[in-house]
């Protein structure tokens, strides 16, 4: 096996070719379905509604396998079963709290620079659409004894165990059992609408297809939890995800208004389901061609992610000519034929692992007026999350929240940059949790391979020593001390955060390998992004809405006061200019891509 990685090839063309080959390889060798992952109950024939639209619980996306990807079905794996061993007797080896304190805790804020805190909130907003293992059982916990100098308020620290599905147990030395996803696995906007008919009914008005939004443009309060908005997913809530939930609830209602004008005979249900299709596809598009290309700035990825959506022939060709046959390469995944590749579709435990991106969140926040530019207040993260969310969000205009979060840089995904507010997080139920410790324990508990094995299962070269993991000699020294020099014991989170990412990357190449296969799979497996992405299903209004709308359009539709700030901005997930600063030049996409490519050439 060659040790040359895709980004080490001398030309952009060879890098793109290598990435394409990697994706094909991963699709064939790194998709596995666990035993009992889906119920066997016969759901019968799909209703007309299920054929034409997304169901609340995710059933019938694949009409030939209606349970695939549904709410409550199990996570799949990217690792083969024989590499998902859970060592319960070594669950705390090395001590995960010590790892949190000595390797992960933020000593000073390290800004990412290339992305803002809206981008940090965005990935959590998306994660809440994709996966949730549930809150576990308060009586089934993992006790983590604390050292004599540890000031955490509870000793032992307690973490609720993840409960396997189908009555299975975690057995030491055996492959991990299957765990269920509380959400649907599909990219269906469930963070806005909820997974399941019961939750969905709570956010709907049942009039003109709309969801509940107050006349002042803010969301109503949760029916169960004070301080939290009423929305489809209310866990781990804070002001950053709050502005996104508010934005896309308003966008849903704007789509409903447009559909009602164009098709006055549409009833409430048809308006609602068509708006769900439209907004879900719009979010997927924004994530694919805007968020991802902002956090992964390498030119091969700029081309690759746009090609995922539009194909190698590009957006202009698609808009003017349409698709060229069923070719995913030429015309993109969107509108092609669905394909699950080597296993039925589900999200995977390893996918959950690589999206543990908590270092993106700052501990300290500054807020400014978008009208005057003046500084309004400072807050800690604790003061803008959980039970404090609504009070804080209602203390200033929402446009000020957008402006402030748009200007602020997210944190870099690296060691010694994990938010300390999240290492002593008070949840709504009063439980105090160290999420850094939790991240380490969850991977071990769920049988996610440790760093070297994780790389091996992706056919990446193993590291022979801890010193090979990172060029940072101080980090290598600290990792060696914690792990006793055993490179094979290093946790995946620690290895990924210690790695030197490829040029222009916001996270590690090891994490990126899971991204390569799963980012395209979420589109390619979904009927409503493939053969049913067409006007006959979305309506012409919905179809055009997805094709002609970007994140900036959505923001300015609902918060036009931000026009002066972002009117000339091309990447809304990159830090925004301050009010009154000269607007940056806005090159067209071709010029911008050419400039990006030139910067990576040997003479650039």
Q: Which domains does the chain have, with CATH numbers?
A: 6-596 (1.10.640.10)
Report the distance separating Cα 475 and Cα 467, nearest Å: 9
Phi, psi of 242, rounded to the nearest 5 degrees? -60, -45
- Is the Cβ–Cβ distance between 530 and 538 less than 8 Å? no
* 31, 24 contact by CB (below 8 A): no
Quote the percentage of the chain above a pLDDT of 70.
Answer: 93
pLDDT band for 314, please (50, 70, 90 cuts): low
Q: Please write the tens of the pLDDT for every residue from 555-578.
A: 999 999 999 999 999 999 999 999
Q: Are 101 and 415 in contact (CB under 8 A)?
A: no
Q: CA 209 to CA 220: how far, in whole Å?
A: 17
Active site residue 185: no
* pLDDT value at 600 more than 60: no
Looking at residue 28, its pLDDT comes to: 94
d(CA 160, CA 343): 31
Residue in 462, 464, 349, 474 with CA at minimum distance from that of residue 414: 474
List, for residues 174-212, the tens digit of each pLDDT value: 999 999 999 999 999 999 999 999 999 999 999 999 999
Give the confidence band of 353 by pLDDT, cuts at 50, 70, 90: very high
| Cα–Cα distance for residue pair 359/415, rounded to 1 Å | 8
Contact 570, 550 (CB under 8 A): no
Average pLDDT over residues 214-229: 95
pLDDT single digits (tens) 375-416? 999 999 999 999 999 999 999 999 999 999 999 999 999 999
Q: Which one of 128, 252, 340, 416 is the catalytic residue?
A: 128
Alpha-carbon span 125 to 153, nearest angstrom: 29
pLDDT for res 399: 97
Position 317 confidence tier, pLDDT thresholds 50, 70, 90 = low
pLDDT digits (tens, 9 = 90+) for 539-554: 999 999 999 999 999 9
Q: If residue 410 lies in a helix (H) or strand (E), which one and from where to where?
A: strand 409-411
**Closest C-alpha among 285, 56, 64, 36 to residue 183:** 56
Residue 598 has a pLDDT of 32
Mean of the per-residue pLDDT values of the chain: 91
* Confidence (pLDDT) at 319: 67
The pLDDT assigned to 592 comes to 44
Render pLDDT for 486-542 as a digit per residue (tens, 0 to 9). 999 999 999 999 999 988 888 899 999 999 899 899 999 999 999 999 999 999 999
CA angle centred on 243, ends 411 and 305, rounded to 5°: 60
How far the first Cα of the chain sits from its last, in Å, is 31
Residue 320's pLDDT band (cuts 50, 70, 90): low
The mean pLDDT value for 446-458 works out to: 97
CA atoms of 133 and 472, how far apart (whole Å): 34
Summarised one tens digit per residue, pLDDT across range 150-177 is: 999 999 999 999 999 988 889 999 999 9
Sign, CA dihedral 599-355-332-252, equals negative
Contact between 84 and 96 under an 8 Å Cβ cutoff? The reply is no
Residues 490/466, Cβ–Cβ less than 8 Å: yes
Provide the pLDDT confidence category of residue 604 given band limits of 50, 70 and 90. very low
- From the centroid of its chain, how far is CA 529? 18
Question: Cα(336)–Cα(328) distance, rounded to whole angstroms?
Answer: 6
* pTM recorded for the entire structure: 0.92
Residue 1: predicted pLDDT: 41
Looking at residue 48, what is its pLDDT? 94
- Residue environment code for 93-118, b if the CB has 16+ CB neighbours within 10 A, otherwise e: ebbbbbbbbbbbbbeeebebebbbbb
Angle between helix 589-600 and 299-310 (nearest 10): 140
Confidence at 591, pLDDT banded by 50, 70, 90: very low
- Dihedral sign (CA 587, 588, 589, 593): negative
Q: Is 375 helix (H, G, I), strand (E, B) or coil?
A: strand
Q: What letters, b where the CB count within 10 A reaches 16 and e where it falls short, cover 376-405?
A: eeebebbbbbbeebbebbeebbbbbbbbbb
Q: Is residue 85 within 8 Å of residue 173, measured between CB atoms?
A: yes
Any idea what the Cα angle at residue 112 is, between residues 108 and 116, rounded to 5°? Answer: 110
What is the pLDDT, as a whole number, of residue 321? Answer: 66
């Amino acid at each position: 096996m060659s040790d040359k990685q895709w980004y080490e090839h001398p030309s952009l063309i060879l890098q793109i070719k290598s990435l394409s080959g990697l994706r094909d390889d991963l699709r064939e060798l790194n998709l596995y379905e666990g035993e009992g992952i889906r119920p066997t109950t016969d759901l019968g024939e799909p209703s007309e509604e299920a054929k034409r639209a997304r169901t609340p619980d995710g059933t019938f996306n694949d009409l030939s396998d209606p349970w695939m990807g549904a709410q409550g079905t199990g996570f799949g794996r990217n690792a083969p079963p024989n590499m998902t061993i859970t060592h319960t007797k070594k669950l705390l080896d090395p001590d995960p709290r010590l790892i949190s304190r000595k390797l992960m805790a933020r000593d000073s804020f390290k800004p990412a620079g290339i992305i803002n805190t809206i981008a940090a909130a965005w990935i959590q907003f998306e994660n809440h659409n994709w996966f949730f293992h549930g809150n576990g059982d308060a009586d089934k916990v993992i006790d983590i004894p604390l050292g004599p100098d540890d000031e955490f308020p509870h000793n032992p620290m307690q973490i609720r165990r993840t409960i396997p599905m189908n009555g299975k147990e975690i057995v030491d030395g055996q492959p991990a059992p299957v765990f269920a996803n509380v959400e649907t696995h599909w990219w269906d906007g469930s963070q806005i609408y909820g997974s399941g008919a019961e939750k969905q009914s709570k956010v709907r008005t049942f009039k003109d297809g709309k969801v509940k939004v107050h006349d002042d443009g803010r969301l109503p309060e949760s029916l169960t939890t004070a301080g939290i908005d009423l929305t489809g997913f209310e866990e781990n809530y804070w002001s950053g995800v709050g502005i996104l939930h508010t934005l896309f609830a308003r966008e849903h209602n704007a789509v409903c208004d447009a559909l009602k004008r164009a098709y006055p005979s549409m009833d409430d249900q048809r308006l609602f389901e068509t708006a769900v299709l439209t907004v879900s596809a719009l979010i997927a598009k924004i994530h694919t061609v805007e968020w991802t290309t902002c956090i992964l700035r390498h030119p091969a990825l700029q081309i690759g992610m746009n090609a995922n959506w539009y194909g190698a022939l590009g957006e202009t060709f698609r808009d003017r000519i349409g698709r060229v046959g069923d070719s995913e390469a030429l015309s993109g995944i969107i509108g092609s034929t669905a394909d699950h590749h080597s296993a039925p579709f589900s999200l995977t435990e390893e996918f959950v692992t690589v999206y543990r991106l908590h270092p993106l969140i700052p501990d300290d926040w500054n807020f400014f007026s978008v009208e005057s530019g003046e500084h309004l207040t400072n807050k800690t993260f604790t003061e803008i999350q959980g039970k404090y969310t609504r009070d804080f969000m209602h203390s200033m205009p929402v446009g000020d929240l957008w402006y402030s979060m748009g200007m602020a840089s997210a944190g870099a995904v690296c060691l010694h940059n994990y938010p300390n507010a999240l290492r002593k997080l008070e949840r709504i139920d009063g439980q105090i949790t160290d999420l850094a410790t939790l991240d380490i324990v969850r991977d071990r508990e769920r049988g996610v391979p440790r760093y070297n094995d994780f790389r091996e299962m992706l056919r990446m070269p193993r590291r022979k020593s801890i010193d090979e993991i990172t060029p940072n000699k101080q980090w290598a020294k600290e990792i060696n001390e914690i792990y006793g020099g055993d490179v094979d014991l290093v946790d995946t989170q620690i290895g990924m955060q210690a790695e030197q990412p490829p040029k222009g990357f916001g996270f590690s190449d090891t994490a990126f390998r899971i991204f390569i296969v799963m980012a395209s799979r979420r589109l390619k497996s979904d009927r409503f992004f493939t053969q049913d992405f067409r006007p006959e299903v979305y309506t012409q209004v919905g179809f055009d809405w997805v094709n002609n709308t970007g994140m900036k359009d959505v923001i300015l539709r609902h918060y036009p006061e931000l026009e002066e700030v972002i009117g000339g901005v091309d990447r809304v997930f990159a830090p925004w200019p301050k009010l009154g600063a000269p607007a940056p030049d806005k090159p067209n996409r071709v010029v911008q891509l050419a400039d990006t490519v030139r910067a990576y050439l040997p003479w650039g």
